[in-house]
Amino acid sequence: MEGLPMTSSPTQSLEDRVRSIAARHRDERGALMPILHAVMEEMGHVDPAVIPVLADELNLSRADVYGVITFYHDFRQTPPGRRTVRICRAEACQAVGAAELVDRAKSRLGVGFGETTADGAVTLEQVFCLGNCATGPSVQVDDRLYGRVSAEKLDGILEVSA
């Protein structure tokens, strides 16, 4: 069974789950980052309740752990929606209309970046490059990438995502 990811049991406490993840990554260089990524992968977000657990596991201050979580936008502190819509805000996409897409998405969904719709359907996020510069503006929904997204195309994407 070595090398297979551990799955947590539904009865395992949050603290136990995080300590188990920390144990798997503790010996890695800069262990906090791989641990936070593993927490995100397993739980979908980094619950603020894990901060003191990670601080204890890694002999760091709570402020150090909190600082890393809040510095990197990929670490969510709240559960994401069922779908995640990311709009590229890098220069190449901005030059071909990303600002209009941002306004349209915020208006249609009624949320800002980093927020989730009230029904929990969609989380809206901004990214600063999706690596699709030649076909911008770009939007990503979960793992699917869209290029040359117009306001009308975004409406269709958001309709399917909701």
Looking at every residue in the chain, the average pLDDT score rounds to: 92
Q: Which of 69, 74, 78 is nearest to 86 (CA)?
A: 74
Q: pLDDT tier at 122 (50, 70, 90 boundaries)?
A: very high
For residue 22, what are the contacts with CB-CB under 8 A and spacing of at least 6? 31, 35, 53, 54, 57, 58
- State phi, psi for 124 to the nearest 5 degrees: -105, 130
- State phi, psi for 86 to the nearest 5 degrees: -115, 130
71 token code pair: 């510095």
Residue 145: strand, helix, or coil: strand
pLDDT tens track for 5-64: 445 455 689 999 999 999 999 999 999 999 999 999 999 999 999 999 999 999 999 999
